[in-house]
Chains A and B, each alone.
Chain A
Amino acid sequence: MSLEVNGVEHSAEVEPRQLLVYFLRENLALTGTNVGCDTTSCGACTVLMDGRSVKSCTVLTVQADGAEVQTIEGLADDGKMHPLQDAFHTEHGLQCGYCTPGMIMAALGLIQEGGDLTEKDIRLGLEGNLCRCTGYHNIVKAIQSAADEMRSPASA
Chain B
Amino acid sequence: MDIYRPASWSEALEVKRGAPESVPLAGGTDLMVDLNFGRARPQALLDLTRLAELAGWDRDNGRVRIGAGVTFTTLIAELAPELPGLAIASRTVGSPQIRNRATLGGNLGTASPAGDALPPLLAAGAEVEVASAARSRRIPLEDFFIAPKVTALEGGELIAAIVVPVADGPQQYSKIGTRNAMVIATVSFALALHPGRRRVGTGIGSAAPRPLRATEAEDFIGGVLAEHDLWSSGAPIPEPASARFGELVAAAAQPIDDVRGTVAYRRHALAVLARRTLAWAWSDYRSAA
Chain A contact residues, CB within 8 Å of chain B: 16-17, 19, 38-41, 43, 46, 52-55, 57-60, 62-63, 65, 106, 109-110, 124-125, 127-129
Cβ contact of B32, chosen from A46, A60, A127, cutoff 8 A: A60
Determine whether the beta carbon of B45 is less than 8 Å from that of A16. yes
The distance in angstroms between the C-alpha atoms of A59 and B30, with both chains bound, is 11
Query: In the complex, how many angstroms separate the beta carbon of B125 from the nearest chain A beta carbon?
Result: 31
Cβ contact of A62, chosen from B37, B47, B95, B97, cutoff 8 A: B47
The distance in angstroms between the C-alpha atoms of A123 and B27, with both chains bound, is 24
Determine whether the beta carbon of B3 is less than 8 Å from that of A60. yes
The 3 closest A-B CB pairs, nearest first, are A128-B95, A58-B32, A127-B181
Query: In the complex, how many angstroms separate the beta carbon of B112 from the nearest chain A beta carbon?
Result: 14
The distance in angstroms between the C-alpha atoms of A60 and B50, with both chains bound, is 13
A65 and B5 in contact, given A54-B101, A58-B33, A58-B101 (Cβ under 8 angstroms): yes
Interface size band for B: 20 to 34
Query: In the complex, how many angstroms separate the beta carbon of A18 from the nearest chain B beta carbon?
Result: 10
Within 8 Å CB of A52, what residues of B?
73, 100
Say whether chain B's binding surface is mostly helix, strand, loop, or mixed.
mixed
Determine whether the beta carbon of B95 is less than 8 Å from that of A127. yes
Apart from the given pairs A17-B3, A38-B33, 4 other A-B contacts in the complex at a CB distance below 8 Å:
A16-B45, A62-B5, A63-B47, A128-B96
The distance in angstroms between the C-alpha atoms of A62 and B6, with both chains bound, is 12
Cβ contact of B28, chosen from A16, A38, A58, cutoff 8 A: A58
B98 within 8 A of A: yes
Query: In the complex, how many angstroms separate the beta carbon of A110 from the nearest chain B beta carbon?
Result: 7
Determine whether the beta carbon of A19 is less than 8 Å from that of B3. no
The distance in angstroms between the C-alpha atoms of A39 and B36, with both chains bound, is 8
Determine whether the beta carbon of B100 is less than 8 Å from that of A38. no
Determine whether the beta carbon of A63 is less than 8 Å from that of B49. yes
The distance in angstroms between the C-alpha atoms of A46 and B94, with both chains bound, is 14
Question: Closest residue of chain B to A110, judged by CB?
Answer: B96
Within 8 Å CB of A55, what residues of B?
29, 97-98, 101
Chain B contact residues, CB within 8 Å of chain A: 1-3, 5, 25, 27-29, 32-33, 35-37, 45, 47, 49-50, 73, 94-98, 100-101, 181-182
Within 8 Å CB of A19, what residues of B?
32, 36
List 12 contacting pairs A-B, 8 Å CB cutoff, sorted by A: A16-B3, A39-B36, A41-B182, A54-B101, A55-B98, A55-B101, A57-B32, A58-B29, A62-B3, A127-B96, A127-B182, A128-B97
Determine whether the beta carbon of B96 is less than 8 Å from that of A59. no
Question: Closest residue of chain B to A17, judged by CB?
Answer: B1
Question: Closest residue of chain A to B181, judged by CB?
Answer: A127
Q: Which residue of A41, A65, A125 has the most chain B CB atoms within 10 A of its CB atom?
A: A41
Question: Closest residue of chain A to B27, judged by CB?
Answer: A58
Within 8 Å CB of A38, what residues of B?
33, 36-37
Within 8 Å CB of B95, what residues of A?
40, 43, 127-129
Q: Which residue of B3, B28, B50, B181 has the most chain A CB atoms within 10 A of its CB atom?
A: B28
A40 and B98 in contact, given A58-B32, A58-B33, A127-B181 (Cβ under 8 angstroms): yes
Within 8 Å CB of A41, what residues of B?
182
Determine whether the beta carbon of A43 is less than 8 Å from that of B97. yes
